């Protein structure tokens, strides 16, 4: 948890610094560039931070070559960064080497032109040849001394070679492209969690959508591999999968057992905590497998009632001061409850799907669990960190006080009770 918090803080710190650089370079057009940066996880497979970092690397030369026209510069920056990503995806090049090449072009250094693998060598003469070829294709004259012309000419050549637009296509249609998009979306969410003005709901939805694309690309391939495996290999994989699934569950049970051991000490007559947890998990799975639809229907009735409570205007009963506080409280509770219900529905769908052989329902359940979990994080991200810490500290202190109180309970059996009379007992 501490590591995740540090990552969020670092991501947002980078975001703040990069925003400052973008505002300095693009002035009144900076908001438009930030908008492009936020959608770059799809168009260029880059997080907003990486997009802005790339943009600031050559923006000054671009703005200068356009006579200070920041509006045009923003459009060209977006085109250039998308071209870089498209080139990396199509040609299999390292995106960093392509970014370095563009930064070199801004300084009239053409030695890295061959990094783009467009059929042109790393010399000034070869860059001129690229401009001449682009001019033949577009009918527009390009000046080697103008950086904006170089960026435009490269775009013309890449479009002719059917490189343009490949990143956006791969973001949905290929495993590597969809994974890059997912990583960028997660990076954006991490940075957004540190920003009080960020649209966390949208950032979360972006992650979920990206995850869906990864799944859509991976699952058909796994199904195809499975269909072509011999029976013995399938059995071996099932066995390995069972072991892999049991291991984390065993670890989780162990952690749960450790967490409740303090409470269990005051009830020595009870069985092993691990045994209780395992029994509870097994019982819950069996109950869901048998009565899952009924449980889900009951959960829906509870949800209908709670939504009525959440939607009520409490100022009508308690006046404007207390009523507004209650309205705010129930609005926060609603967000958390909606996420919990989503996870519960997902768990029920998954277990019912597995036990009935309805794999589509099982998969939908997995997606709902994922979606509900991220929505819960999104809801919690909107709560000030100090409030969360205070809430956790209060809960921990309350539990400790409860345990201390239970441990301090002692009583003496009256002398007139046969056999046990006069003896003292306690829970400590």
DSSP symbols for 88-139: HHHH---HHHHHHHHHHHHTT--TTGGGG-SS--SSHHHHHHHHHHHHHHHS
Token pair 């979606």 is found at 371
* Nearby residues of 391 by Cβ (< 8 Å), 6 or more positions away: none
pLDDT in tens, 2-53: 455 556 667 777 887 888 889 889 888 889 999 999 888 888 888 888 899 8
Q: 14-22 long-range CB contacts below 8 Å, 24 or more apart? A: 14/49, 14/191, 15/48, 15/49, 15/191, 15/194, 15/195, 18/49, 18/52, 18/53, 18/56, 19/52, 21/52, 21/56, 22/52, 22/55, 22/56, 22/59
The DSSP annotation for 64-89 comes to HHTTT-HHHHHHHHHHHHHHHHHHHH
Task: Name the helix (H) or strand (E) containing 425.
Answer: strand 424-426
pLDDT at 300 over 80: yes
Q: Three-state DSSP class for 355?
A: helix
What whole-number distance in Å separates Cα of residue 159 and Cα of residue 86?
10
pLDDT in tens, 125-176: 999 999 999 999 999 999 999 999 999 999 999 999 999 888 888 777 777 7
Task: Name the helix (H) or strand (E) containing 317.
Answer: helix 315-356
pLDDT in tens, 351-408: 888 777 777 777 778 777 877 776 676 666 555 444 444 444 444 455 455 545 545 5
pLDDT at 55 over 70: yes
**Can you give the pTM of this predicted structure?**
0.56
Query: What is the CB-side half-sphere exposure of residue 98 using CA atoms within 13 A?
Result: 23
């Amino acid at each position: 948890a501490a590591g995740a918090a540090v990552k969020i803080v670092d991501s947002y710190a980078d975001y703040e610094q990069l925003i400052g650089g973008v505002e300095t370079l693009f002035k009144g057009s900076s908001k438009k560039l930030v908008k492009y940066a936020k959608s770059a996880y799809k168009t260029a497979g880059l997080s907003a931070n990486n997009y802005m970092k790339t943009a600031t690397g050559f923006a000054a030369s671009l703005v200068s070559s356009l006579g200070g026209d920041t509006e045009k510069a923003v459009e060209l920056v977006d085109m250039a960064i998308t071209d870089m990503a498209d080139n990396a995806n199509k040609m299999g090049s390292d995106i960093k080497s392509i970014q370095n090449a563009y930064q070199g072009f801004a300084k009239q250094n053409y030695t890295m032109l061959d990094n783009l693998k467009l059929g042109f060598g790393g010399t000034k003469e070869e860059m001129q040849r690229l401009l001449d070829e682009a001019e033949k294709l577009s009918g527009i004259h390009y000046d080697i001394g103008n950086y904006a012309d170089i960026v435009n000419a490269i775009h013309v050549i890449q479009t002719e070679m059917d490189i343009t637009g490949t990143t956006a296509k791969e973001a949905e249609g290929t495993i590597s492209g969809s994974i890059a998009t997912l990583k960028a979306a997660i990076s954006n969410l991490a940075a957004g969690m540190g920003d009080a003005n960020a649209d966390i709901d949208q950032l979360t939805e972006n992650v979920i959508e990206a995850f869906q694309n990864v799944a859509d690309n991976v699952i058909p391939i796994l199904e195809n591999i499975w269909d072509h495996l011999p029976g013995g290999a399938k059995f071996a994989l099932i066995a390995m999968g069972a072991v892999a699934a049991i291991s984390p569950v065993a670890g989780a049970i162990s952690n749960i057992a450790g967490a409740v051991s303090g409470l269990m000490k005051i009830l020595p007559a009870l069985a092993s905590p691990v045994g209780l947890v395992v029994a509870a998990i097994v019982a819950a799975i069996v109950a869901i497998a048998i009565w899952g639809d009924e449980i889900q229907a009951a959960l829906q009735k509870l949800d209908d009632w709670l939504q009525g409570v959440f939607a009520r205007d409490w100022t009508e009963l308690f006046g404007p001061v207390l009523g507004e506080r209650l309205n705010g409280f129930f609005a926060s509770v609603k967000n958390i409850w909606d996420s919990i219900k989503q996870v519960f529905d997902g768990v029920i769908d998954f277990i019912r799907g597995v036990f009935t052989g309805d794999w589509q329902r099982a998969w939908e359940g997995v997606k709902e669990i994922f979606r509900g979990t991220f929505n819960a994080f999104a809801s919690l991200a909107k709560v000030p960190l100090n409030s969360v810490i205070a809430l956790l500290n209060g809960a921990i202190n309350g539990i400790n006080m409860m345990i201390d109180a239970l441990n301090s309970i002692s009583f003496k059996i009256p002398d007139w009770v046969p056999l046990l009379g006069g003896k003292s007992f306690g829970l400590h």
